[in-house]
Amino acid sequence: MLVSLIIKQFALIEHVQLQLDAGMTVFTGETGAGKSMLVDALGAVFGTRASADWVRHGAERAEVMAVWQGGEKQIAALLAEQDIDVEDELILRRIINSDGRSRAYINGVPVPSRVLQQLGRVCLDLHGQHEHQALLQPDFQRRLLDIRVTGPLLSNVKTAFADWQQARRALQQLQQQRGDTEQQVDWMREELARLQALEIEPGLTDQLQAEVEAGRHHAQIHAAAGLSMALLDEAEPNARELIARAAHELAGVQDYHAGLKGGLDLLEQVDALLGEVVPELAAALDSSFDERELQATEERLMRLQEAMRRHDCDESGLQALMDEWQQRLSALDTAGWDEDAAQSALDDAAEKYRVHAAALTEARRQAGESLCTALRPLLDRLALAGMQVRFCLTDESRTGAAAEAFSATGMDQVRMQVMSNPGEPWRDLSAVASGGELSRMVLALKGCGAMEGAPGLAVFDEVDTGIGGETAWCVGELLASMGRERQVLVISHLPQVAACADRQVVISKNEQDGRTLSSLQQLDAPARKLEIARMLGDAQGLEHAESMLNRGQALAAA
């Protein structure tokens, strides 16, 4: 609930502080006094796009601050997203500079203006031109019916639609795979065969490179290994014999000097190491050389390197490509069966969707009839007795509609239609309803609870335009009854509507120091009678004004 509104340097308002309460508050005043500025100020504090025209002439900036009490779950969730502590009281503040730029704050924390807009969608229901336009939209008209649909019908359709979408994507993926051209498939098979022939494994490049180097230098390897073998183990004398002789000489005298014992230990280690060297050299000496094998290895290395350059990857990348192509080729081989199964799954999903959509259509049809029945007495009282209303549903599911008509909200095209006068044809609401009729239609919809879940603050700007007499009393009564469930602010020029309010605020315009100022003042009982009399056009008719107030309060309390 909005408990306080402070407006500074806003259009013709210099400084106003307004305390508000639950129920219905009506704002009245002479034409041009600035009643619309109140709506603009509320829009500003709830994130409406800033305008430099809002700043009072000569001022550097305008400021609007609102205090909101109540911690709805949606508000708490929104504040949590902005890392703002959830409190029972919110202070919303909007500063608009003379150049049109603005800043927004919630409880002193700077926030983007879009956050105020999001809060506005939760807190503020501004009944005005934008809402009339919304009523003309098919989606809005559909939601009027969906509010009255009970049970899981809506969620069933949404789930069935998601299942159908998933089945359709699976079929499309298979069809896309089968869409590969024959030339692409042939190339893939040939390239896969070439890569498989290389017998690729991690480290293959280094292995082949080593084999090639060994083959190319076979003669040098053989000569070096032979000479080394001779020097170490075969020549007279050879290295191992000389080491053994030296070790024998040291063995007899090692006890006489520590250096001799250490030297003998090292010679024994060297001899052991040489014993390990000899088999290695023998293996190199015994290796054979095959020119054709060398050429084959060189060719395999070249093909491997070309493949890695061609696909811009290493051995692991080539292996991954091979795995991918094998899966794709395997999928193509079995795609015929898979596609049949996917098509069958899609058909089943579509049929289930149509069943749920048809059930939702029937529920909407019943909801439309129920809503029109509830609207009838309200429309009669709002001087729309000659207008007949119906909801027309185009249910394509009953005509075997194509899947293009599927949606998460069902297959219905909902149109709100009216018959302005008996004997006239039914026409879409957008084609025949005037602005005044739309305004009263919205009020009737709200009066019969067709807009459940609406924000806690409802603002009605000139909702009573073009009406009077008993119709005006009906509008006032409806607004007052709405005020028992929500906070209602009404800008009106009709005394009947004003008389039904819980409280009344007059907006006046006067001149001060050569400047025009608008001010707001909450009226006590005597002042309210005077204002009602003024609205009646008879400032002396206080008895009439008092009578109207008594009737309005009785209607509001009924």
The label of the residue with tokens 């249910």 reads: 395
Peptide bond preceding 237 in cis form (omega within 30 of 0):
yes
Nearest to residue 323, comparing CAs of 192, 505, 454?
Answer: 192
17, 37, 364, 373, 439 from 519: Cα distances, Å: 10, 11, 48, 44, 28
Q: What pLDDT shows up at residue 353?
A: 94
Residues 6+ apart with CB under 8 A from 249: none
Separation between Cα atoms, residue 64 and residue 55, nearest integer Å: 11
What backbone phi and psi angles, to 5 degrees, belong to 464? -100, 15
DSSP three-state, residue 71: coil
Q: What pLDDT shows up at residue 400?
A: 47
User: Would you call 473 exposed, middle or buried from its count of C-beta atoms within 10 A (0-12, 13-18, 19+)?
Assistant: buried
38, 250, 259, 275, 338 from 266: Cα distances, Å: 104, 11, 11, 14, 74
Torsion of CA 277, 280, 282, 286, to 10 degrees: -170
Type of residue numbered 244? A
Q: Are 474 and 381 in contact (CB under 8 A)?
A: yes
195, 532, 538 from 523: Cα distances, Å: 92, 11, 18
User: 64 forms bridges with which residues in the sheet?
Assistant: 7, 94
Q: What pLDDT shows up at residue 350?
A: 93
Q: Are 3 and 456 in contact (CB under 8 A)?
A: no
Nearest to residue 63, comparing CAs of 33, 104, 34, 32?
Answer: 104
Q: pLDDT for 191-219, tens place per residue? A: 899 888 888 888 888 888 877 777 777 76
Type of residue numbered 167? A
CB atoms within 10 A of CB 54: 24
3-state SS of 451-474 is CCCCCCEEEEECCCCCCCHHHHHH
- With b for 16 or more beta-carbon neighbours within 10 A and e for fewer, the 502-524 pattern comes to bebbbbeeeeeeeeebbbbeebe
What backbone phi and psi angles, to 5 degrees, belong to 95? -115, 125
Separation between Cα atoms, residue 274 and residue 228, nearest integer Å: 11
Question: What is the helix (H) or strand (E) element at residue 94, kind and residue range?
Answer: strand 89-97
User: Which pTM was predicted?
Assistant: 0.61
Q: With the C-alpha atoms ordered 193, 198, 199, 203, is the resulting torsion angle positive or negative?
A: negative
Separation between Cα atoms, residue 84 and residue 244, nearest integer Å: 89
Q: What pLDDT shows up at residue 366?
A: 95
The label of the residue with tokens 């005394």 reads: 495
Question: What is the helix (H) or strand (E) element at residue 154, kind and residue range?
Answer: helix 153-178
User: 390 forms bridges with which residues in the sheet?
Assistant: 417
Q: pLDDT for 426-445, tens place per residue? A: 988 877 767 667 778 878 88
Separation between Cα atoms, residue 228 and residue 238, nearest integer Å: 10
Type of residue numbered 237? P
CB atoms within 10 A of CB 304: 20
Q: What pLDDT shows up at residue 183?
A: 67
Q: pLDDT for 102-139, tens place per residue? A: 999 988 889 988 888 888 888 887 775 455 566 778 88
Separation between Cα atoms, residue 26 and residue 504, nearest integer Å: 5
Q: What pLDDT shows up at residue 399?
A: 47
Task: For the chain, report the end-to-end CA distance as a whole number of angstroms.
Answer: 23
Per the structure block, which two tokens stand in for 358? 């048809």
**Strand stretches in 101-223, DSSP E:** 102-106, 109-111, 124-127
Q: What pLDDT shows up at residue 177?
A: 66
Please give the domain boundaries of the chain with CATH numbers for all domains. 1-127+456-558 (3.40.50.300), 182-330 (no CATH)
Separation between Cα atoms, residue 363 and residue 139, nearest integer Å: 17
Separation between Cα atoms, residue 69 and residue 19, nearest integer Å: 13
**Residue ranges, the chain, pLDDT below 70:** 71, 128-134, 177-183, 219, 285-290, 331-337, 395-403, 433, 435-436, 451-454, 462, 539-540
Degrees, nearest 5: CA angle 373-375-377 = 90
Per the structure block, which two tokens stand in for 444? 């009737």
User: 509 forms bridges with which residues in the sheet?
Assistant: 518
Q: Are 271 and 263 in contact (CB under 8 A)?
A: no
Separation between Cα atoms, residue 249 and residue 244, nearest integer Å: 9
3-state SS of 246-315 is HHHHHHCCHHHCHHHHHHHHHHHHHHHHHHHHHHHHHHHHHCCCCHHHHHHHHHHHHHHHHHHHHHCCCH
- How far is C-alpha 178 from the geometric centre of its chain's CA atoms? 34
Q: What pLDDT shows up at residue 49?
A: 87
User: Would you call 202 exposed, middle or buried from its count of C-beta atoms within 10 A (0-12, 13-18, 19+)?
Assistant: exposed
User: 334 forms bridges with which residues in the sheet?
Assistant: none
Tally the residues of the chain: 558
Q: With the C-alpha atoms ordered 171, 177, 178, 179, is the resulting torsion angle positive or negative?
A: positive
